[in-house]
């Protein structure tokens, strides 16, 4: 168990700091739900191992360094002029989301490097650290020495207004004295990016924390600056450039896990690995619920089918806004569309199958999708009894029915009088 001591004791351990000698907090995010994050940046020309560092949240004006509010960073060498993103481990994809929790957004998850166990009802080490709501000071320590401070330790700022709303919790604001509720609340519902001119962290607890002097402000849930940081002292860097078409075709008969296409960008700087991120788009609504039909492997640029039902429901082109990052900088946003069609729009078409049921297993409805015009759909029991019949004149037919859990056969008759039979599972 870590020792509980006061921030005042830590102040006694501060060492003298010269220009560009240590990590800085390069971005602070206080977004909706569980979207809380911190980005660290190495502004020096040498590797910095994170194992000697820790992050501490001082809740509601507190001054004690408590184990549950402290996260020790891992044994990881952060290379010069690169960033490291820390957020909560509330990922749906990794199964770490509690029943009553809201997940971090997929854009934040894609850019995360360290996902911290987060459980406010538990007293375990670290689980209450990455849970700020705008009125908590956050300190980066190296051992017991202060490397950087966000906020003012020992101060619980008053309520302030933003977009016409007064926050239940306080926030540091845009007007002096920055903690008395005057001005616009900036440390709540904002993404804050350290100015490119900042070379050192704040190593002495500020009497008045002026966000505007240190950070540029963006709306909540702005993730486009994560994973890289603009720093005036970094070497010159050429930004990646996309070299792709703007429209691609994917067959309606794809299955989860099938590749759709691969993002490609070029970078004139040698030896830099590119990472790819979806900024916006890639969604389809199914019964008023938002689904993401594709996933993106950020390291390879491969776009993979993730949700067959979303593809079956797509009635318009699915748009994507993406960026490529070389970890020193980020490309301009590139936009393209995926059309769910059999037409040969690009060489990225996937192998077609004759007929497909989506979703399968199903509950109260499913789609029959074919590369032919369907004239009739029948649902048949495994004993041969016809349970349902529907006339049609389309290549995609929705079937609504209420069947008991089990296995069934779906018989599709086409306009050319050919027939196919697929197995349907009702869950």
41 shares its domain with 158? yes
Q: CATH number for the domain including 420?
A: 2.60.40.1220
Number of domains in the chain: 3
Give the pLDDT of residue 372.
84
Same domain, 271 and 381: no
Cβ(369)–Cβ(277) below 8 Å: no
Burial class (CB in 10 A: 0-12, 13-18, 19+), 271: exposed
Residues 179, 83 within the same domain: yes
Residue 268 belongs to what domain range? 241-340
pTM (two decimals): 0.78
> Of the residues 219, 252, 267, which one is the last residue of a structural domain?
219
The closest of 341, 148, 164, 332 to 252, measured between CA atoms, is: 341
**For residue 327, what pLDDT is reported?**
87
What does each of the 427 residues of the chain score in pLDDT, given as a tens digit? 344 456 555 554 443 344 568 999 999 999 999 999 999 999 999 999 999 999 999 999 999 999 999 999 999 999 999 999 999 999 987 777 776 788 999 999 999 999 999 888 888 999 999 999 999 999 999 999 999 999 999 999 998 887 777 777 799 999 999 999 999 999 999 999 999 999 999 999 999 999 999 999 999 999 999 999 999 999 998 999 999 998 999 988 888 999 999 999 999 886 678 999 999 999 999 888 899 999 999 999 999 999 999 998 898 999 999 999 998 999 999 999 999 987 765 444 444 446 888 888 988 899 998 888 899 999 988 877 889 999 999 889 999 988 999 888 898 888 877 778 888 989 8
Residue 76 and residue 136 in one domain: yes
> Are residues 328 and 367 located together in one domain of the fold?
no
Confidence (pLDDT) at 382: 82
CA distance 131 to 148: 18
Both 300 and 387 in one domain: the answer is no
């Amino acid at each position: 168990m870590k020792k509980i001591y006061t921030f005042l004791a830590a102040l006694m351990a501060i060492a003298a700091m010269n220009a560009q000698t240590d990590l800085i907090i390069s971005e602070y995010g206080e977004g909706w739900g569980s979207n809380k994050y911190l980005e660290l940046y190495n502004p020096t020309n040498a590797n910095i191992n994170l194992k000697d560092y820790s992050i501490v949240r001082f809740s509601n004006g507190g001054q004690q360094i408590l184990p549950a509010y402290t996260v020790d960073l891992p044994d990881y060498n952060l290379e010069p002029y690169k960033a490291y993103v820390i957020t909560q481990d509330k990922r749906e994809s990794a199964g770490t989301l509690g029943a009553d929790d809201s997940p971090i957004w997929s854009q934040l998850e894609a850019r995360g490097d360290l996902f911290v166990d987060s459980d406010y009802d538990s007293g375990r080490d670290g689980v209450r650290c990455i849970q700020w709501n705008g009125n908590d000071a956050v300190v980066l320590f190296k051992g017991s020495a202060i490397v950087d401070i966000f906020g003012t330790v020992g101060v619980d700022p008053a309520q302030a207004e933003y977009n016409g709303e007064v926050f239940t919790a306080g926030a540091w604001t845009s007007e002096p004295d920055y903690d008395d509720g005057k001005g616009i609340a900036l440390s709540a519902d904002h993404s804050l990016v350290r100015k490119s001119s900042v070379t050192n962290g704040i190593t002495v607890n500020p009497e008045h924390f002026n966000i505007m002097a240190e950070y540029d402000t963006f709306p909540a849930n702005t993730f486009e600056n994560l994973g890289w940081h603009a720093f005036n002292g970094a070497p010159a860097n050429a930004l990646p450039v996309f070299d792709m078409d703007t429209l691609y075709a994917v067959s309606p008969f794809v299955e989860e896990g099938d590749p759709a296409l691969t993002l490609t960008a070029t970078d004139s700087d040698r030896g830099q690995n590119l990472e790819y991120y979806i900024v916006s788009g890639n969604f389809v609504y199914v019964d008023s619920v938002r689904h993401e039909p594709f996933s993106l492997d950020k390291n390879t640029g491969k776009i993979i089918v993730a949700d067959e039902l979303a593809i079956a429901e797509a009635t318009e082109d699915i748009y994507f806004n993406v960026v490529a990052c070389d970890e020193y900088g980020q490309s301009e946003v590139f936009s393209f569309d995926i059309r769910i069609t059999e037409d040969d729009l690009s060489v990225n078409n996937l192998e077609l199958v004759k007929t497909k049921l989506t979703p399968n297993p199903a509950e109260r409805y499913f789609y029959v999708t074919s590369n032919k015009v369907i004239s009739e759909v029948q649902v048949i029991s495994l004993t041969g009894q016809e349970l349902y019949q529907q006339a049609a004149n389309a290549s995609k037919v929705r079937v609504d029915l209420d069947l008991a859990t089990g296995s069934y056969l779906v018989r599709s008759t086409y306009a050319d009088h050919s027939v196919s039979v697929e197995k349907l599972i009702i869950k």
